[in-house]
């Protein structure tokens, strides 16, 4: 049975998933309109990417508010599938995931354009669409610099989290656990303050990770053109939705159906 906090966290996640599907539909519609027109309408596309990123920022702020009351759950969310949890880094995806996904989407788009060119014949005119396959050398250099900077920040947070986890083996917790007699109360009151301090430190690291994820995405979108930004956001949301669905399916296949899956299915109707 879920606690009130767990119910709020699950509701927050499912509400974001619904918003993500709406955003994906709008992103796809904008790309179709841009492809059908000679005018990419950059201001409108830029406004759309900003709106979609704002939805993610609002989700982050709501998560941080909930995490201030119960942070541990965000490191192994009950509303996620086992697959999703296995991919977590400090409560979410690695910030460099956005960059790696950009490279993958760029490669896929390039292969698609080459196939279309060969199928149409060499006499066909090249596509004028401003896609991820059209990244300039300047853009690629900027992305590479962002990746190097982000990796350093990831490593710093990973080290901080490791140190925090190791501290749990130090005094006074280890002494309290050692002195506990089998069958006696756990002595939670003796470690309450220590665990509360641990939670506050964990929440601080989670907030830093959330900000790094958000800022990395924002910086990446600043490097891309509005059309490329829309394409990247759409590809990322498709992947996130697919991983979520594949993870649920795998859990069901292994008999690991959980309450969040039921709630989501009910909420989708």
The radius of gyration computed from the CA coordinates of the chain, to the nearest angstrom, equals 22
Q: What is the pLDDT of residues 174-226, one digit of tens each?
A: 777 776 655 555 666 777 888 888 999 999 999 999 999 999 999 999 999 99
Q: What is the pLDDT of residues 256-265, one digit of tens each?
A: 865 444 344 4
- Per the CB < 8 A criterion, the answer to whether 56 and 218 are in contact is no
- What's residue 1's pLDDT? 46
- What's residue 252's pLDDT? 92
What is the spatial distance between Cα 24 and Cα 235, in angstroms, rounded to a whole number?
A: 9
- What's residue 182's pLDDT? 57
| Domains of the chain by residue range | 4-123+135-268
Residue 128 clears pLDDT 70, i.e. is over it: no
Average pLDDT over the chain reads 84
- What's residue 260's pLDDT? 43
Question: Looking at residues 50-71, what average pLDDT do you find?
Answer: 96
Residue 49 clears pLDDT 70, i.e. is over it: yes
Residue 228 clears pLDDT 80, i.e. is over it: yes
Instruction: Tell me which residue of 241, 224, 240 sits closest to 49, measured CA to CA.
Output: 224
- Per the CB < 8 A criterion, the answer to whether 223 and 146 are in contact is yes
Task: Indicate the helix (H) or strand (E) that contains 98.
Answer: helix 96-120
- What's residue 167's pLDDT? 84
Residue 230 clears pLDDT 70, i.e. is over it: yes
Give pTM, 2 decimals.
0.84
Going by pLDDT thresholds of 50, 70 and 90, the confidence category of residue 269 is very low
């Amino acid at each position: 049975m879920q606690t009130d906090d767990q119910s709020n966290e699950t509701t927050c996640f499912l509400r974001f998933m619904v918003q993500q599907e709406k955003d994906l539909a709008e992103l796809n519609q904008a790309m179709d309109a841009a492809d059908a027109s000679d005018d990419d309408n950059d201001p409108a596309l830029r406004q759309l990417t900003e709106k979609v990123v704002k939805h993610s920022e609002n989700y982050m702020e709501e998560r941080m508010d909930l995490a201030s009351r119960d942070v541990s759950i965000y490191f192994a969310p009950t509303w996620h599938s086992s697959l999703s949890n296995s991919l977590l880094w400090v409560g979410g995806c690695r910030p460099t995931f956005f960059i790696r996904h950009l490279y993958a989407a760029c490669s896929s788009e390039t292969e698609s354009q080459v196939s279309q060119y060969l199928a149409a014949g060499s006499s066909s005119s090249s596509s004028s669409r401003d896609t991820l396959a059209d990244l300039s050398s300047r853009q690629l250099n900027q992305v590479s610099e962002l990746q190097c900077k982000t990796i350093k920040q990831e490593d710093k947070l990973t080290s901080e989290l490791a140190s925090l986890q190791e501290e749990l083996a130090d005094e006074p917790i280890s002494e309290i656990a050692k002195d506990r007699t089998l069958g006696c109360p756990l002595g939670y009151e003796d470690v309450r303050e220590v665990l509360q301090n641990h939670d506050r430190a964990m929440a601080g690291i989670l907030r830093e990770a959330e900000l790094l994820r958000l800022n990395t995405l924002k910086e990446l979108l600043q490097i891309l053109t509005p059309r490329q930004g829309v394409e990247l956001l759409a590809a990322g949301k498709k992947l996130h939705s697919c991983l979520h669905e594949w993870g649920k399916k795998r859990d069901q296949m292994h008999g690991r159906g959980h309450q969040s899956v039921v709630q989501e299915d009910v909420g989708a109707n």
